[in-house]
Every structure is written in structure tokens, then in C-alpha cells.
């Protein structure tokens, strides 16, 4: 038995909405009614005031996620500030349930998603596109969603309750097949950003803050999320680069939103970028001794095992968000592309060396500060690209630096100076050319 607010609609796992079934209070009983509406209202207000770019006043706010292991079934209950109309899909490799929602501002720490219970192995949530949120539930075994309800609580909160039940592997596969087309459509998304304004004479720098939205990146002990750290750093770097007026500076994301890896590359190419700098602060849990700033350039052969592991994990970001990457290949252009790629690789290496030199003494460098690995995000064949690990969230000493404003100021200043140095020949040429022009 499920309860739903009169007029609330509920969707089936194929994504079609239907009227909810009649009364019952099971969903409401899943979470103690201890979170008065005032909390939701305050959170919605704070989100709107403190983060005007990433949250809107009208956003639905999610403040709690509870798992209830009820034997044969597992209930998943989200406490929200307003009713939502979810769409639910089953996907495989690995077995997951994806719940698509309208834009929801998740005020639930990402680390809470690591909790397991019943049929749920782990969860992640966040914005999948600027106007859409997604919850990805990693399953402990094949299971399908047998019921979805949206119900109103007395204090004004709304509970989104999903009921999961274990099924046989063949039944799960059948559900995946049924959902496949609708899921593919749901995972298409509009371009991350408006087409960049036409390039001007200045070199174009694209700053790429890693992760975001449904993909928090690494999560440090204590709950600090990589996606937040690198966005703050990128915004500071953009300010510094823009101050000089010498560069056209663009970012692949400016808010806490998911951006697929291939789209980050596509954005840099469309912007005709002269340099692409992807900013990260990952964790290498198998090697907590690895610390310090590292600059990576692209290579099919990783320079060492840790770099290979890191690239593999970075490259899985899209799949973890439930986004299927389709790599288009244009065979005809392969030779030209290879030639361009070779030249680009040379520039990427020069910049990596310049950056490592520039950061020496400002940041604590990794013992091998320039490494290589096959990162998807570095694959633009015509844009010199580097991925900077500012430090590692698996290293306690690095966390202290990464969260310090003073360090951020120094490190972005040094990075800006390195970018200036890299473009000095080109900017110098232009200055000379301007001097002799009539
Ligand atoms: Zn990362």
C-alpha cells in the first residue's frame, strides 16, 4: 500500500506516469518525521542566496536519503521540499537503477551515498544536466523498482519512496532491454554551454574543473569533495587570467553540474582553444604516500601504475553517472589528425614542463611531477592539453593545502605566470607586429 498526495503522479519503471494507488502510510513511516518544513525552507533560501549560480530559488531541495532494508524489499526514501515526477530505469554493466528527476538541489553530503543497505550497494546523486538531476543506485544484486510513490508529510515535506525487490538475472536483463530506448533518450543532453563567442585575437584558455553534479570526484575523509575544491580553484584561476586582459578565458563548467568527458573535449575544440587545463585533486587510496602537485599529459602508455589507475578511474566518470559515451571515428581524417596530434603533443609537453617549473617552490611537487597516462579528457588532437592534479585527497598534508585560500592564491598566481610564459613568444610576436603596423 502506498500513499501519495492527491494529484501527485507516480511513474512506472518504463517512465510513464500513472495516478498513485490508494491510501496507506508506509512511505511516510520510513523516515521519522523530525525534519520540519522550516529546515527545508531555510536550506532553500540559503542555497538561493549563497550560491546564486548553482541553485535557484525555485529549486526542489533534497535534505535526506534513507535506506530501509525490509527483508525481501528495500525502500529508498528521499525527503524533498516539493513533489517531483521521477523516471526510473534499470541499466546493466554493472547492475544499476537510474532515477531521473527535474532540477533538484541535493543538500545531502555525497559521502552518505557510500552507505549500503539491503539491495543498495551505494548511491550518487546530483545534477546531470543544468535542468535535470539524477540518482544512480548501484545494486548489491539484480533488482527492479516495483513501486514509486510521492507523498506529502504533515510538515509539508514530500517523500519520494522507491521500492526495490530482488529479481532473477534474466528478469533484470529483460527490464534493462525494456528500458533501453527510453534510457538512451533520457541520457542525451543539451550542450553544456552556449556555443563560445567567436574567438578573438587573444589566445583562448579553457579551464576544466573536473567532475561536478552527480560525479563528486574523490571524497576526502571529512567529506571534502574534489568537485568543489577544483571548481573554487578554477574560478580563482579564471579571475587571475582575465585580470591581464591578454587571454580569452572559458570554463567547461561554472557550477556544480555534471559534464561528460567527451563534451569537455568538444567544448575546447569548438572554442578553438589554444590551451586546455583540466583541474583535479583525486585520491589514490592504494597509495596514500603519493602526494604533491602532478601535471599529466596524454599518452597511450602510462608512465607508471598509479597514473594508469588514476586515468582509468577518471575515464569511468561518465559511466558512473549513467552516461554512455559514443566515440565517433572519422577514418578519412585519421592521417591529418595524427600529424596534428603529434604537434599538439609537443606543445602539451612544453606547457607541462613550463608549468612544473613555475609551480616549483609554490606548490609541493610530486616526486615525479610530470607523468603521462591515457586520459579521455586530454584527447583533443588539436588543443594542447594537460591535467593538473593539484594534490591528492588521499594525502592529509595535501588536503590542508588544497582547502587553504592562501595556497589557492599563490598557486593560481604561479599557474597564471606559467601560462604567460608559455604564450610569451606568441604574444611578443603580436606586440612586434602591432608596433610596425601603420
Ligand atoms: Zn578527478
Are 170 and 213 in a shared domain? no
Predicted pLDDT of residue 196: 67
Are 357 and 220 in a shared domain? yes
In angstroms, what is the span from residue 285 Cα to ligand 1's centroid? Answer: 13
In angstroms, what is the span from residue 207 Cα to ligand 1's centroid? Answer: 14
Are 52 and 151 in a shared domain? yes
In angstroms, what is the span from residue 399 Cα to ligand 1's centroid? Answer: 14
User: What is the spatial distance between Cα 235 and Cα 271, in angstroms, rounded to a whole number?
Assistant: 18
In angstroms, what is the span from residue 314 Cα to ligand 1's centroid? Answer: 6
User: 3-class DSSP state for residue 71?
Assistant: coil
Alpha helix positions (H), 145-225 = 169-187
In angstroms, what is the span from residue 220 Cα to ligand 1's centroid? Answer: 12
Considering the domain boundaries, does residue 295 fall inside one?
yes
In angstroms, what is the span from residue 353 Cα to ligand 1's centroid? Answer: 21
Are 169 and 300 in a shared domain? no
In angstroms, what is the span from residue 254 Cα to ligand 1's centroid? Answer: 16
Cα–Cα separations (whole angstroms), residue 274 to 85, 245, 385: 43, 16, 9
In angstroms, what is the span from residue 309 Cα to ligand 1's centroid? Answer: 12
Residues 6+ apart with CB under 8 A from 101: 60, 84, 85, 86, 132, 133, 134, 135
In angstroms, what is the span from residue 109 Cα to ligand 1's centroid? Answer: 18
Provide the domain limits for residue 368: 204-435
Predicted pLDDT of residue 40: 53
Report, in angstroms and rounded to the nearest whole number, the Rg of the chain calculated over CA atoms. 24
Predicted pLDDT of residue 398: 86
Predicted pLDDT of residue 195: 65
User: What is the spatial distance between Cα 412 and Cα 138, in angstroms, rounded to a whole number?
Assistant: 37
Are 164 and 221 in a shared domain? no
In angstroms, what is the span from residue 293 Cα to ligand 1's centroid? Answer: 13
In angstroms, what is the span from residue 404 Cα to ligand 1's centroid? Answer: 19
Upper half-sphere CA count for residue 130 (Cβ side, 13 Å): 11
In angstroms, what is the span from residue 226 Cα to ligand 1's centroid? Answer: 7
Considering the domain boundaries, does residue 272 fall inside one?
yes
In angstroms, what is the span from residue 64 Cα to ligand 1's centroid? Answer: 26
In angstroms, what is the span from residue 122 Cα to ligand 1's centroid? Answer: 19
**Among the listed residues 305, 205, 217, 219, the one whose alpha carbon sits nearest the alpha carbon of residue 261:** 217
In angstroms, what is the span from residue 67 Cα to ligand 1's centroid? Answer: 28
In angstroms, what is the span from residue 39 Cα to ligand 1's centroid? Answer: 32
Are 248 and 336 in a shared domain? yes
Dihedral angle over CA of 141, 144, 150, 153, nearest 10: -40
- Give burial (CB, 10 Å; 0-12/13-18/19+) of 169: exposed
Residues 6+ apart with CB under 8 A from 65: 76, 77, 78, 79, 108, 112, 113, 123, 125
Phi, then psi, of 159 in degrees rounded to 5: -110, 125
In angstroms, what is the span from residue 391 Cα to ligand 1's centroid? Answer: 10
Number of separate domains in the chain: 2
Considering the domain boundaries, does residue 197 fall inside one?
no
In angstroms, what is the span from residue 297 Cα to ligand 1's centroid? Answer: 14
CATH number of residue 150's parent domain: 2.60.40.3500
In angstroms, what is the span from residue 279 Cα to ligand 1's centroid? Answer: 8
Angle between helices 405-436 and 334-359 (to 10 degrees): 120
Output helix, strand, coil percentages for the chain, rounded to the nearest 5.
Answer: 35, 25, 35
In angstroms, what is the span from residue 46 Cα to ligand 1's centroid? Answer: 28
Are 331 and 373 in a shared domain? yes
In angstroms, what is the span from residue 437 Cα to ligand 1's centroid? Answer: 46
In angstroms, what is the span from residue 211 Cα to ligand 1's centroid? Answer: 6
Mean per-residue pLDDT pooled into runs of 10, the chain (438 residues) = 38 35 33 47 46 57 93 94 95 93 92 90 90 93 96 94 96 96 81 66 95 91 90 97 93 92 91 96 78 92 90 87 64 71 92 96 90 94 95 86 92 96 81 37
Are 79 and 218 in a shared domain? no
Considering the domain boundaries, does residue 4 fall inside one?
no
CATH number of residue 409's parent domain: 3.40.630.40
Amino acid at each position: 500500500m502506498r500513499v501519495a498526495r492527491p494529484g501527485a503522479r507516480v511513474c512506472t519503471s518504463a517512465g510513464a506516469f500513472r495516478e498513485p494507488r490508494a491510501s496507506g502510510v508506509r512511505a511516510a513511516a520510513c523516515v521519522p518525521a523530525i525534519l520540519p518544513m522550516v529546515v527545508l525552507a531555510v536550506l532553500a533560501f540559503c542555497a538561493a542566496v549563497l550560491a546564486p549560480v548553482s541553485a535557484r530559488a525555485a529549486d526542489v531541495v533534497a535534505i535526506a536519503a534513507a535506506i530501509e532494508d525490509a527483508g525481501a524489499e528495500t525502500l529508498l526514501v528521499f525527503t524533498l521540499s516539493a513533489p517531483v515526477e521521477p523516471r526510473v530505469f534499470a541499466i546493466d554493466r554493472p547492475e544499476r537503477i537510474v532515477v531521473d528527476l527535474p532540477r533538484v538541489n541535493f543538500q545531502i553530503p555525497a559521502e552518505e551515498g557510500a552507505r549500503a543497505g539491503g539491495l543498495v550497494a551505494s548511491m550518487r546523486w546530483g545534477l546531470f544536466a543544468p535542468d535535470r538531476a539524477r540518482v544512480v543506485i548501484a545494486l548489491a544484486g539484480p533488482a527492479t523498482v516495483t513501486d514509486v510513490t510521492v507523498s506529502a508529510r504533515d510538515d509539508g515535506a514530500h517523500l519520494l519512496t522507491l521500492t526495490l525487490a530482488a529479481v532473477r538475472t534474466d528478469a533484470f536483463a529483460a527490464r534493462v532491454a525494456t528500458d533501453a530506448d527510453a534510457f538512451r533518450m533520457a541520457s542525451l543532453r543539451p550542450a553544456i554551454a552556449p556555443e563560445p563567442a567567436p574567438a578573438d585575437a587573444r589566445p583562448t584558455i579553457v579551464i576544466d574543473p573536473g567532475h561536478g553534479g552527480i560525479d563528486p570526484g574523490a571524497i576526502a575523509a571529512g567529506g571534502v569533495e574534489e568537485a568543489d575544491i577544483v571548481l573554487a580553484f578554477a574560478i580563482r584561476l579564471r579571475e587571475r587570467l582575465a585580470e591581464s586582459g591578454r587571454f580569452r578565458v572559458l570554463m567547461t563548467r561554472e557550477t556544480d553540474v555534471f559534464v561528460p568527458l567527451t563534451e569537455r573535449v568538444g567544448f575546447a575544440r569548438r572554442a578553438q582553444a589554444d590551451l586546455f587545463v583540466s583541474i583535479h585533486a583525486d585520491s589514490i587510496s592504494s597509495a596514500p604516500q603519493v602526494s604533491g602537485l602532478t601535471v599529466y599529459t596524454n599518452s597511450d602508455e602510462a608512465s607508471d601504475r598509479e597514473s594508469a589507475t588514476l586515468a582509468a578511474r577518471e575515464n569511468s566518470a561518465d559511466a558512473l553517472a549513467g552516461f554512455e559515451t559514443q566515440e565517433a571515428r572519422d577514418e578519412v581524417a585519421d592521417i591529418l589528425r595524427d600529424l596534428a596530434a603529434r604537434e599538439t603533443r609537443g606543445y602539451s609537453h612544453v606547457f607541462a614542463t613550463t608549468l612544473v617549473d613555475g609551480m616549483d617552490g609554490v606548490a609541493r611537487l610530486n616526486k615525479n611531477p610530470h607523468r603521462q597516462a591515457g586520459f579521455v579528457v586530454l584527447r583533443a588532437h588539436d588543443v594542447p592539453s594537460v591535467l593538473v592534479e593539484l594534490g591528492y585527497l588521499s594525502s592529509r598534508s595535501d588536503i590542508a593545502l588544497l582547502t587553504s585560500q592562501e595556497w589557492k592564491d599563490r598557486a593560481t598566481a604561479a599557474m597564471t605566470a606559467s601560462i604567460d610564459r608559455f604564450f610569451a613568444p606568441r604574444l611578443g610576436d603580436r606586440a612586434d607586429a602591432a608596433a610596425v603596423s601603420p
